[in-house]
Amino acid sequence: MRADRLLSILMMLQLRTRITAGYLAEQLKVSERTIYRDIEALERSGVPIVTDRGRSGGLRLMGGYQTKLTGLSVEEAEALPFAQIGIAASALGFAGAAEAARLKVFAALPAFERERAVRASERFHLDPAEWYQRPPTPACLKALASAVLADQAVAIDYESWHGRKVRVIEPVGLVLKAGIWYMVARNRNRYAIYRVEGIHTIRILEKRKVQRRNFNLARIWQQEVVRFEASLRRDRATIRIHESALSRLGRLGADAAEVIRAATPDAQGWRTATIWIESVQHAAGLLLGFDSDIEVLSPAALRRELATRAGRIAALY
């Protein structure tokens, strides 16, 4: 809407000493001609905008002018936490509101603090997605976000590793981790984590409200992550790994990487360590990617599985 665009232009002019029409057009995704028409509209409404000609010219507000239109709407207040995380704001449908909220917050700051905030925002960018990954936005994400904000219970058709079934749960928060959306919810008086992509359908239960007494999403999330990771430590494997593979230890997880790095290498650069594994099948898939830079010493079942998989690969070539 044009009114929103005019306000955005006004906020951006207030944040910077000088700004070009080209920059405004790029940020607001319109043509420079549209920007100049908007500038004329602002001037007619009494906003003192100065146009400086020349190579280092641009648009600026006349010295000392400040708008008081910095109050946040409900949508902007809800979107404020995502102001610097574009991928999250877009997925939740908050992109426009998040940017407007960011501009208003900056504009409301005193001059010195505003300059520092703008400098920082121009020098740091948060990108939570992993390399080479373009995680899809789950179809139910926006509806789920609405339920979380409204403290509404939901019925979901959810597919997990154990199968697919309908569950009635109380969503208490959404978490974006490594580009993947997760929901934290109460189910039968305990918290659980659900991968949002696994939700096929969602139905909001209007008459059932979620109680959030003394709830801290970050704390609950961390507790559930620790519990989940601990549940995957079902067996142990003793391995030899060459120093040439140390840069790839992240694939094995932080705990395994820490144990391996702490091991003393022998004269040929090999380290021996015992690490937790989820299962023989899962570990075999991870360790094959290290080629001959890792040797499994035990358990025997993992050695056999690696040999079997290596044999199948060799047979293809």
Q: What is the DSSP letter of 110?
A: -
Q: State what percent of residues in the chain have pLDDT above 70.
A: 87
Q: Where are the domains of the chain?
A: 2-123, 141-227, 235-316
pLDDT of residue 27: 85
Q: Greater confidence, 118 or 226?
A: 226
What is each CA distance from 164 to 83, 139, 156, 158, 256, in whole angstroms? 35, 17, 10, 6, 32
Q: What is the pLDDT of residues 232-279, one digit of tens each?
A: 888 999 999 999 999 998 888 888 999 999 999 999 999 999 999 999
Cβ 185 vs Cβ 192: under 8 Å:
yes
pTM over 0.75: no
Cβ 101 vs Cβ 77: under 8 Å:
yes
pLDDT of residue 78: 58
The model's confidence at residue 286, banded by pLDDT at 50, 70 and 90, is very high
128 SS3 class:
coil
Q: What is the pLDDT of residues 50-82, one digit of tens each?
A: 888 877 788 988 876 766 555 556 566 556 566
CATH number of the 141-227 domain: 2.30.30
For 85-111, what is the mean pLDDT?
70
Taking the C-alpha atoms of residue 182 and residue 172, their distance in angstroms, rounded to an integer, is: 11
Which residues are CB-contacts of 179 (< 8 A; sequence separation ≥ 6)?
Answer: 87, 128, 129, 130, 133, 135
Task: Give the CATH architecture of domain 2-123.
Answer: Orthogonal Bundle (1.10)
Asked if the model's pLDDT at residue 43 lies above 60, the reply is yes
Q: Greater confidence, 289 or 89?
A: 289
Q: State what percent of residues in the chain have pLDDT above 90.
A: 38
